[in-house]
Structure 1
């Protein structure tokens, strides 16, 4: 979830500073009382209400993989995720998980779908699509169903 903008935060605090009751400010802006208290505390202690940095370490490998995987995809379009990970490890010396590789490929918009203009199968259909090919289905005696269903006048 993204943080509210600094402009929004300042508007909330301006409404409080101009004398509007907290309950009315909360209802007007659609925020909680605890959020309003946090904004007031942050302004009092830090002198601003800028959004804080998202905790956690930044991804280290993701940008490298996204930047360098496109030539590998173009050269080896039919390779599996595991094969792409192995190729990445051979060329770059870093091991990359399947999930990291999958996300990088997805962000690039690369799809594994084959084109419809490709080679057609050499096998011929014996019947049109949707036709029933099993003779046993046609020869089944369905009379047991008719005896169970009452006929209404």
Structure 2
């Protein structure tokens, strides 16, 4: 999700500074939530800043670079392996228990694509 632009944040803060302005009306006017307006004004009071906070990244990857390379080598050696088989190989050979979704994400990020099943005609 993208952060609201600094320009929009400045216009919201300016609208809230007008005499008689209510947060709910400003929120409706700019199509943002009342909670966002409140948090924006609190941030402005506490730090003097309106800019969005920097991103915090996210959870750490469950497969490090070495495990990802190993997985890529396994797919190259056995291109018809299923996600479940690769998941089992990771557990047995590397001792790493991960979900099938994690296996898929690594392969997908590396450009691996699932082959489409041929269309059935006359069925």
- SS of 2:98's partner is coil
Local SS of the residue matching 2:13: helix
The equivalences for 1:108-123 within 5 A come to: 108-113=110-115
**Are positions 1:104 and 2:83 aligned together?**
no
Q: Which residue of 2 aligns with 1:78?
A: 80
Calculate the aligned-residue CA RMSD, in Å. 3.6
Q: For residues 97-120 of structure 1, what are the alpha-carbon distances to aligned partners after superposition, in whole Å with 9 as ceiling and x for unaligned?
A: 22211232233342231697xxxx
Equivalence for 1:121: none
Match of 1:37 in 2: 38
Q: Which runs of 5+ in 1 are unaligned?
A: 117-128, 132-153
Cα 1:14–1:75 change in 2 (3 A) is farther
**Could you say which residue in structure 1 is the equivalent of 2:29?**
28
CA positional deviation for 1:24: 5.3
Secondary structure of 1:31's partner?
A: coil
Confirm whether residue 11 of structure 1 aligns to residue 11 of structure 2: yes
Equivalent residue number for residue 140 of structure 1? none
Which protein is bigger by CA-based radius of gyration? 1
Give 1:43 shift.
Answer: 1.6
Q: For residues 44 and 62 of structure 1, what CA distance do their matches in structure 2 show?
A: 42
On the 8 A contact 1:85/1:95 being kept in 2, the answer is yes
Q: Which residue pairs with 1:147 in the alignment?
A: none
Query: What's the TM-score, normalizing by structure 1?
Result: 0.54
- Residues 103-150 of structure 1 show CA distances to partners (whole Å, capped at 9, x for unaligned) of 32233342231697xxxxxxxxxxxx649xxxxxxxxxxxxxxxxxxx
Aligned length: 117
Structure 1 window deviating more from structure 2 (35-44 vs 8-17): it is 8-17
1:29 Cα offset (Å): 1.4
- Alpha-carbon separation, structure 2, partners of 1:11 and 1:65: 48
The change in CA–CA distance for 1:37 and 1:101 in structure 2 (over 3 A counts) is same
